[in-house]
Structure 1
Amino acid sequence: MEETISLKELIETIKKRMQLILLITLTAIIVSGGVSFFLLTPVYQSSTQLLVNQSKSDQPAYNIGEIQTNLQLINTYNVIMKSPAILEKVISELDLDMTAGQLNEKLTVGSEKDSQVINLSVEDTDPKQAAAIANKTADVFQGEIGKIMNVDNVSVLAKAEVGKDQSPIKPKPLLNIAIATVVGLMAGVGLAFLLEFLDNTIKTEQEVEKILGLPVLGSITRIQDQAEQAKSRSQRKSRVRGETVGS
């Protein structure tokens, strides 16, 4: 026989386990906030743009064939920009304490579809160093690409700058806390239903009638043990003695 659960039972289960749900949610919020504000190091991002376009040419300003060639070269340029030949020179000129592989992990190079603009972004815990690396990488690439591919079609479109009171791109404490709240609620509700499912004890007459399908003819109240009875008698005597003294 398939057992069905009504919406009322679901709500009652949530109400019964509300303290557990709130405790798990609050714990998730506190842990997320503590990690975001005190443990994670802020990371800043700085970006520069390069334009792939023939700087000196006798061709018309809008030469379709030349534009298509530049677009085809952009993927190659993206790879070269993150190559050791470029990054090692950037490290040497900025005197950075890192390897080319470590610097490569900080760089993100890409371009929009059918666009001649290359976007170079650098992430670092120091916003000034992020801007310096972005600008130096663009300058080194612009100077070295002519030697590597014998072309002169790259120019710096926009330099990276350090903004006033620049905000880190990560971590985002408020977003992390919001996610932790949702996850905490889901975990709390899930655990509440799991505990309810695993709890096979019978606590009320209504549960007896529901499970056995038989009416309850009588019930036995809880009988206090000797210690509880002695404590109750002592409390009653104290109250009577106090009332006598007061009168």
Structure 2
Amino acid sequence: MYSELDKDEVINEEIIDLAELFRSIFKHIRLIIFLCLLFACGGFFGTKLLITPTYTASTSIYLTPQISESGSLDYNSQMANSKLVTNAVNLLTQNNIMSEVAKDVGLESASSVKKLVTVTNESDTEIITISATTTDPKLSKNIANDTVSTFIRTMQKNLNVRNIEVVDKAKLSYIPSGPNVKKNTLLATMIGFVIGCGYATLRFLFDNRLRTKEEAEKYLGIPVFCEIPEL
């Protein structure tokens, strides 16, 4: 077990080591800043020039609650409508729907369309949002709208469900939804910062030089009688 004096010495050594480490990192601050700027430029221009922009078009449908014969909305009707919403989220991307959409928009297969479509249900609502993301804004709009129209037509024909209304049709937008230039630039900057700090840390850890009188005494095991000042 360490004595109280030994513990103090260990703590002091750790503090000195950390202080030396931070000083070593600060000595390489120019390199760290250079790497941050270099990687930031790489992330920005790489995103702008090398990654194809994508466009997202969204449309929403609303499943209106079915009114009972008495003209009121009872609990059973609400529960049935909630289950219908859950089923609709899953049915929208089934192969029979996606196959029809693929034929209409000129894509190869249902799987190729399914990869481009995202279906979400806003919590505690009967509103379902269908989004399509592609590299062509017109194609995104056509996929989103055709998915909804095909789904409504299929539900009316096969299940006699007629309480689905289109809230908002997908519109043509030439504003890219991705990639996120700011996010990629920030991530690249952080990578440059980590690499710069890592380089400075490794230089410090593998530096075996005796930098102070105390380190020389500890390493050699003999006292230092004199030292030459740095001119």
Same fold (TM over 0.5): yes
- Which is further off, 80-89 or 199-208? 199-208
Call closer, same or farther: CA 1:219–1:118 in 2, change over 3 Å. Answer: same
Q: Is the 8 A contact 2:60 2:168 kept in 1?
A: yes
- Does residue 182 in structure 1 map to residue 172 in structure 2? no
Call closer, same or farther: CA 1:125–1:148 in 2, change over 3 Å. Answer: same
Q: Is the 8 A contact 2:63 2:165 kept in 1?
A: yes
CA distance in 1 between counterparts of 2:224 and 2:188 reads 46
1:43: which partner in 2? 54
- Does residue 202 in structure 1 map to residue 229 in structure 2? no
Superposition CA RMSD, Å: 2.7
- Does residue 74 in structure 1 map to residue 85 in structure 2? yes
1:85: which partner in 2? 96
1:217: which partner in 2? 226
Q: Is the 8 A contact 1:53 1:155 kept in 2?
A: yes
CA distance in 2 between counterparts of 1:61 and 1:90 reads 37
- Does residue 130 in structure 1 map to residue 140 in structure 2? yes
Q: CA offset at residue 220 of structure 1? A: 11
Match of residue 112, structure 1, among 122, 126, 134: 122
Which residue identity lines up with residue 135 of structure 2 in the other structure? T
TM-score, with structure 1 as normaliser: 0.77
Which residue identity lines up with residue 43 of structure 2 in the other structure? S
Give the 3-state SS of the residue equivalent to 1:74 in structure 2: helix
CA distance in 1 between counterparts of 2:157 and 2:93 reads 16
Q: Is the 8 A contact 2:92 2:151 kept in 1?
A: yes
Unaligned runs of 5+ in 1: 222-247
CA distance in 2 between counterparts of 1:59 and 1:215 reads 102
1:21: which partner in 2? 32
2:175: which partner in 1? 167
Which residue identity lines up with residue 224 of structure 2 in the other structure? P
CA distance in 2 between counterparts of 1:59 and 1:143 reads 28
Over the matched positions of the two proteins, sequence identity in percent amounts to: 28
1:146: which partner in 2? 156
Give the 3-state SS of the residue equivalent to 2:125 in structure 1: coil
CA distance in 1 between counterparts of 2:165 and 2:179 reads 33
Q: How many residues align?
A: 218
Q: Deviations over 1:126-174 (max 9, x none)?
A: 11211111011101100001233232221211101124xx422211112
CA distance in 2 between counterparts of 1:59 and 1:89 reads 39
CA distance in 1 between counterparts of 2:103 and 2:96 reads 11
Which residue identity lines up with residue 128 of structure 2 in the other structure? I
Match of residue 166, structure 2, among 135, 156, 166: 156
Q: Deviations over 1:104-142 (max 9, x none)?
A: 011111112221111111111111211111011101100
Call closer, same or farther: CA 1:204–1:89 in 2, change over 3 Å. Answer: same
